[in-house]
Amino acid sequence: MSRGNRSGLPRWLGWGTGGLAVVAVLLTGYAVFSGDDETTTSQRPPTTTVASPGPTYAAPSGWTEPERWAVLPRGTRTDGRGNEVGFPHTVEGAVAMLVASNSTEFNAERSHVDVQLGVYESYLIPADRTEENRERIRKGAAENDALLRQTMGLPEDGVLPAGAYSRNQVVGYQLIEESPTAVSAWLLSRATVRAGESEKEQGSFTTTLAAVEWEGGSWWVSAASTENVMRRHGRDERPPIAAPGDAAFNSGGWTAIRAAS
């Protein structure tokens, strides 16, 4: 398994911090790797499910204002899991749902398993929510939690130290296809980890191929929508990884995200 990138973090870092994309990949077995030549399938939860930056990427010292900005709508309510839901039936609403479900954090108060099960319950289409799938998500999240703890140099179990966290924040997107019933996009995220209050934060940028469908008055991810976008676009040329403020962010076709007021 390839591990190197500019920050020294493992290439599966984004899998440890993302949300909806992790759930979808665990259900379908698809994985996408930035810079690789093909889309990979497997019969078990993959160790990598997001595209990661190459070893030569470094954020530029200067700032280039992003040319495209989006103020995405908020959901209409927060559900029992504490997740934002009820996004409008628009392309921007679909992207907002993808952003909300992939912007996650686990820390001393909320385990990685809690995060993934919360995403599963809040954003996975009801028809795919079976006991078998729930157990698959729980097991995969627990396995990745152990891997991430190992990388951070922390004990295999127990409460995380104060100040320790693993975060994923979506900072940009690029639409692939859109219709009233289905939206697919590349997501650009900043993934960071810190092993404790006195430890240095480490981070990298990752890209994820994602899709949602409209059913019963809500946007959902499903095994079918994920498999469809992977089959149709998993071999396409992938947008370059470039942080907002890098001129390559603009030339690569990314849209930056501003929080709605």
How confident is the prediction along the chain (261 residues), in pLDDT tens digits per residue? 333 333 334 444 444 456 766 677 667 766 544 433 232 333 333 333 333 334 445 667 778 999 999 999 999 999 999 999 999 999 999 999 999 998 888 888 888 888 889 999 999 999 999 999 999 888 888 887 888 888 778 888 788 888 998 888 999 999 999 999 999 999 998 888 888 888 888 888 888 889 999 999 999 999 899 889 988 998 888 899 999 999 999 999 999 998 665
C-alpha to C-alpha distance for 20 and 168, rounded to whole angstroms: 11
Instruction: Write the DSSP symbol of residue 199.
Output: S
The residues, ordered by sequence, that sit 6+ positions from 131 with a Cβ below 8 Å of its Cβ are none
What torsion, rounded to 10 degrees, do the Cα atoms 168, 169, 171, 175 define? 70
pTM above 0.85, yes or no: no
Residue 48: count other Cβ atoms within 10 Å of its Cβ. 23
N- to C-terminal Cα distance for the chain? 42
CB–CB of 148/172 below 8 Å? no
Strands 202-215 and 69-71: unpaired
Residue owning tokens 């912007």: 103
Phi, psi values for residue 92, rounded to 5°: -65, -35
User: What are the residues whose beta carbons fall under 8 Å from the beta carbon of 43, sequence distance 6 or more?
Assistant: 29
Quote the CA–CA distance of 68 and 184 in Å, as a whole number.
18
Residue 132 has a pLDDT of 92
The predicted structure's pLDDT at residue 1: 30
- What residues form DSSP beta bridges with 103? none
